[in-house]
């Protein structure tokens, strides 16, 4: 179902903490999460990691991310017209839950996972987003899906 925000049709598929057709209950608590981009028509291509974060309330925090992303797609390196592409899939999922919610452990784990996954909108050495994210993500999308 298409949704309109301002003048933008949003047809992109958003998988918000989906696991086996239901919301992943682990997303309600603390942990490290990943936001990825993929295409429906390229199921064998690995998703493009966009962002990794941590929160003691992952679902709440990622709802805020989603709000910012819809207002400003550049937030995760996309363009407004990408929101209208019903072949694109934005997936938000739990990478590692932390039942005890100890924030010091969360930050350390987040940094390790950023180095491992190399999300395209972040510096590999911290949780800071980078300024060149639009060019990086758009370039990788062209390389992977628009050859």
Q: What is the DSSP letter of 28?
A: G
Domains of the chain: 3-145 (3.40.1440.10)
Q: Summarize pLDDT for 98-131 with one digit per residue, the tens.
A: 877 676 778 888 999 999 999 999 977 655 677 7
Q: What is the mean pLDDT of the chain?
A: 88
Full 3-state SS string of 94-116: EEEECCCCCHHHHHHHHHHHHHH
**Looking at the whole model, is its pTM more than 0.85?**
yes
Q: Where are the alpha helices (DSSP H) in 18-130?
A: 58-71, 80-83, 103-117
């Amino acid at each position: 179902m298409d949704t309109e925000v301002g003048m933008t049709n949003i047809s992109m598929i958003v998988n918000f903490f989906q696991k086996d057709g239901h919301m992943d209950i682990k997303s309600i608590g603390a942990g490290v999460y990943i936001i990825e981009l993929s295409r429906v028509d390229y199921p064998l291509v690995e998703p493009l990691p966009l962002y990794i974060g941590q929160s003691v309330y992952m679902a709440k925090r990622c709802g805020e991310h989603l709000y910012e992303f819809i207002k400003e797609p550049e937030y995760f390196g996309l363009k407004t017209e990408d929101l209208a592409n019903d072949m694109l899939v934005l997936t938000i999922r739990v990478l590692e839950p932390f039942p005890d919610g100890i924030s010091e452990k969360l930050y350390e784990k987040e940094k390790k996972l950023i180095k491992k996954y190399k999300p395209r909108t972040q510096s590999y050495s911290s949780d800071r987003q980078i300024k060149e994210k639009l060019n990086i993500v758009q370039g990788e999308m062209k390389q992977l899906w628009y050859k």
